Amino acid sequence: MSLHDRIIPYLERAGLYHQARLNTHWFWLDEPLVSAFIERWRPETHTFHMPFGECTITLQDVAYQLGLPVDSQAVSGCMTDFHMHIEGARPAWEWFEELFSELPPPDKRKLYTVHFTWFHERFRVLPVDASEETVRIYARAYIMMLLST
């Protein structure tokens, strides 16, 4: 999705602007490097086995590298767990419709997920004459895509 100037204030407020810039301008995936790290990962100790010894990555390392805030409330959860354990909870699609003002077609959604292609096609480019409410909707979509990739 394109990073439109009108979406940036929402990303800054959410503390995700740095992450968005990594994804759009500065970051490229070094696949051989990632493969080398995967080969050296030891799940039993949660460390990388390197020639000079074992090392690990801390939350502080991740925060520094990605510019993500880690000193406030966590954003997490599972829609399945949320809806299964709260009596009278609304269907997941009502939540989706509140955030994005529309529902994807039935063939583009599953129980609690939306096909990536529909989401990307629908919110790829912010219309030039977008109202502020439309900008907020596109900002939410951008954040959802940013966090899901």
pLDDT, tens digit (0-9, with 9 covering 90-100), for 88-98: 555 667 778 88
Residue 43 falls inside a structural domain: yes
pLDDT confidence of residue 129: 95
Residue 95 falls inside a structural domain: yes
Domain coverage including residue 111: 8-148
User: Which residue is associated with the tokens 């995700």?
Assistant: 16
CA distance 96 to 106: 13
Residue 27 falls inside a structural domain: yes
Residue 29 to residues 16, 33, 34, 80, 122: CA-CA distances in angstroms?
19, 9, 8, 31, 26
Give per-residue pLDDT as tens, 43-99. Answer: 898 899 999 999 998 888 877 777 776 776 665 555 554 444 555 555 667 778 888
- Rounded to two decimals, the pTM is 0.64
Residue 1 falls inside a structural domain: no
Residue 131 falls inside a structural domain: yes
Look at the chain and report how many structural domains it folds into.
Answer: 1
CA distance 34 to 31: 5
Q: How many CB atoms neighbour CB 100 within 10 A? A: 18
With b meaning 16 or more CB within 10 Å and e meaning fewer, what string describes 126-147? beeebeeeebbbbbbbbbbbbe
Q: Are 47 and 56 in contact (CB under 8 A)?
A: yes
Residue 123 falls inside a structural domain: yes
pLDDT confidence of residue 28: 65
Residue 3 falls inside a structural domain: no
Q: How many CB atoms neighbour CB 36 within 10 A? A: 13
Residue 2 falls inside a structural domain: no
In which element (H, E) is residue 49 found?
Answer: strand 47-50
